[in-house]
Structure 1
Amino acid sequence: MSETTQIGSDALLARRSGARRERVRLVAMALGPVFGAIVMSGLVLLALGVDPIAYYGYVVDRGLINPYGLQATLTRMGPLLLIAAGLIVAFRAGIWNLGGDGQFLLSAVVVAALGPLMVPYFPVWMVLLIGLLVGAMVGAVWSLLPALLKAYQGVNEIITTLMMTFLGVSFANVLVKLFFRDPATTVPQTRTLVVADRLPRLFDTTVSSGLLIGLVAIMAVHLLMTRTAFGLKLRIVGANPRAAIHAGLNVPLLTMATFAISAALAGLAGAVEIMGVQGNVRADWNPAYSLTVVPLVFLARFNGFASIAFVFLFSVLSIGGESAARRTGVPNFFTLVVVAILLIMLGITEYLDQRRRAAGK
């Protein structure tokens, strides 16, 4: 073997070794915070006098092993995947769309009010299609003001999208209690879309076909951002806006498009939740899915396929946690405590990784 061939072989082995180490690092960065959050949450449960093994046992049993619990878990994934897809688009483009909860809830309320009104005049498939389109449009429209301020005035979108979330949640409650209220009920809520007119179930289960919509959306977003010229443009804008301008990209227009796609997916999630699961919206209802999905998307490193796995794990925790809370006497919002600890662990992991990289240089 010649010296040149040996050098080339050594370089190839070095690249492969480096690629393996990078994959191991990414897996550790993704799973480390999850295991850390489980352990820390277990310590919190111990401090509350609850057996963490029993709690997590109920979570796994009711959210994964039990057939009805598993079907509820898969149904819960539908809107969460759509929200995750919207966040991936925004974050990869360097935009912090934190207004997903407002976009989700406002779209849900409008679709919940519109659906029962359309049923007497249109076939079910058309009602569902119109509902999905309206939900996406409402979400996109609610992001218009933050998009314009970001694109043409450079206003920080974190502030504007959070403000629009508060406004959207409040406005949605006003609509439910006043304009869209079902006069036939004593509790403030919209009219109910009957089960027969909702999204069809998958096979002979209770799993809503919203799961398929969510899976298709997040895989399409992944391919869009990694395999198309438009996705490359958005990633360039997110990586370096100045370089994007010098490259001749229309940054304001791309910013507007990013907001529209991200918010439309959040609005579509609201429509899927109503037409696939809830059927109506009650006053003061706000599941706050969007801010909960943010750490899941970061753990997945903005990868669509990895996001599916993390959304599934969170859905198991969410559905199983409801049963575990009843059986162990833990408050229902303990799942949010786990998510908060997960955020802290994610921040610590990122900090340690940055320190390691700095020391390596």
Structure 2
Amino acid sequence: MTGLRRSLPAWVEILVLPAINIALAFLTVGVIVMIVGVDPLQALKLLVLGAVGSPESIGYTLYYATNFVFTGLAVAVAFHGGLFNIGGEGQAYLGGLGCGVAILALDQYLPIWLMVPIAIAAAALFGAAWAAVPAWLQAWRGSHIVITTIMFNFVASALMVYLLVNVLIAPGSMTPQSRGFGPSGQLPALAGSPLNLSIVLALACCVGVWLFLWRTPWGYALRAMGHNPEAALYAGTNLRSMTMVAMCLSGALAGFVGVNELMGVHHRLVLDFPAGYGFAGIAVALMGRNHPLGVALAALLFGALQQGGAELAFDVPAITREMVVVIQGLVILFSGALVNLPRPWLAAFRPRQAP
């Protein structure tokens, strides 16, 4: 298998292999859809139209994709450092808390051009701080990052419930949510949908992550740690410090989900706004091969599945919301666990080279 992996060109690895995995996933979905008595081509047409068939549906697709970009980049940065961050959900929660608290404290005093960067910085700071604790536990105490980040998801959820029920709840409200943000704490919507200016932040994060990982010495050290910690240590890399850097950057990126959801859509602090984006970011990073461009493309696919699947479930009663989750799960399965399934077929088309 190692020889087959090395025999594929980079463009096949990045473009052709994921495309075949997605095609196999949709072929399997087509068989399942036929079993439930629905025409697969008609279902595919409704899925595509639901995702990109109108300006409003495109706006929803890009809105979902924005969140997937943030969490996909968060997972990818940690992956490059050899760290498996499953705490994106909790880090998004705390990022939203930081964003919301900053707006609630200052929205009555600051204009929008000053309030927005402060709220974004607060989201990044709170998300990074929440990720820093599991990073410190692994770097200095040897705790496994997977276990601690999973546990911190539940802690973050419980913390948000306590704060919104007992501290930040709007006066006189029966719903656990804060008061509404002032005009300076709201991002303008685009295309008559939840899409807002957070998409610009998502694109900037893609460029920033690429520059950091491949154009800075810190990014080189982080990738070296992920490839071979012993060699990186021998080269002079401080593995503890680099673990902290990787996880704090990962947490800051996940925290930006709060900017998109709270400043762009809800305009107040609410419960459950991460809505599983932190876990879906793992699949986005895997499909995107942990590269910012690949993450952006995978996020678009998952955003289209999210929006198109909702429209498909609405138009075709035989296809339920659970069936849409199955479609997403099959895409994840073929792009993750079965990612190397088409590799021998692709390698067979290449002429053998003399040793």
Structure-2 separation of matches of 1:286 and 1:31: 28
Please, which of 165, 178, 201 is the counterpart of residue 213 of structure 1? Answer: 201
* Displacement after TM superposition at 1:285 (Å): 4.4
* CA deviation string 1:310-332 (max 9, x = no partner): 11111111112112111112333
Q: Residue 232 of structure 1: SS of its match in structure 2?
A: helix
TM-score, normalised with respect to structure 1: 0.86
Aligned position for 1:6 = none
1:349 equivalent to 2:336? Answer no
1:185 equivalent to 2:189? Answer no
Please, which of 235, 251, 265 is the counterpart of residue 247 of structure 1? Answer: 235
Aligned position for 2:253 = 265
* Displacement after TM superposition at 1:205 (Å): 8.1
* Displacement after TM superposition at 1:271 (Å): 2.2
Structure-2 separation of matches of 1:70 and 1:190: 30
Q: Residue 191 of structure 1: SS of its match in structure 2?
A: coil
Q: For 1:1-361, what aligned pairs fall within 5 Å after superposition?
A: 21-193=9-181, 197-201=185-189, 207-329=195-317, 330-345=319-334, 346-350=336-340, 353=343
Higher mean C-alpha deviation, range 271-280 or range 310-319 = 271-280
Q: Residue 169 of structure 2: SS of its match in structure 1?
A: coil
8 Å CA contact 2:87–2:149 kept in 1: the answer is yes
8 Å CA contact 1:169–1:286 kept in 2: the answer is no
- Number of aligned residues: 342
Structure-2 separation of matches of 1:46 and 1:176: 46
Structure-1 separation of matches of 2:193 and 2:59: 7
Higher mean C-alpha deviation, range 337-346 or range 21-30 = 21-30
8 Å CA contact 1:59–1:317 kept in 2: the answer is yes
TM-score, normalised with respect to structure 2: 0.87
More helix as a share of residues? 1
* CA deviation string 1:246-286 (max 9, x = no partner): 11111100111111111011112222321112223433444
Structure 1 pair 307/356, CA: closer, same or farther in 2 (3 Å)?
same
Which sections of structure 1, spanning at least 5 residues, go unmatched? 1-17
* Displacement after TM superposition at 1:216 (Å): 0.8
* Displacement after TM superposition at 1:149 (Å): 1.4
Structure 1 pair 150/55, CA: closer, same or farther in 2 (3 Å)?
same
1:293 partner letter: G
Structure-2 separation of matches of 1:222 and 1:66: 32
Structure-1 separation of matches of 2:301 and 2:215: 27
Structure 1 pair 257/332, CA: closer, same or farther in 2 (3 Å)?
same
Structure 1 pair 174/309, CA: closer, same or farther in 2 (3 Å)?
same
Structure-2 separation of matches of 1:177 and 1:50: 45
Between Structure 1 and Structure 2, whose CA radius of gyration is higher? Answer: 1
Structure 1 pair 245/282, CA: closer, same or farther in 2 (3 Å)?
same
Structure 1 pair 205/160, CA: closer, same or farther in 2 (3 Å)?
closer
Structure 1 pair 110/182, CA: closer, same or farther in 2 (3 Å)?
farther
1:331 partner letter: T
Structure-2 separation of matches of 1:86 and 1:281: 22
Higher mean C-alpha deviation, range 208-217 or range 32-41 = 32-41
8 Å CA contact 1:112–1:191 kept in 2: the answer is no
* CA deviation string 1:43-78 (max 9, x = no partner): 333333344333332221121121111122222222
Structure-2 separation of matches of 1:195 and 1:335: 36
8 Å CA contact 1:322–1:332 kept in 2: the answer is yes
2:12 partner letter: V
Higher mean C-alpha deviation, range 113-122 or range 302-311 = 113-122
Identity across matched positions, percent: 25
Structure 1 pair 127/334, CA: closer, same or farther in 2 (3 Å)?
farther
Higher mean C-alpha deviation, range 318-327 or range 188-197 = 188-197
8 Å CA contact 1:72–1:206 kept in 2: the answer is yes
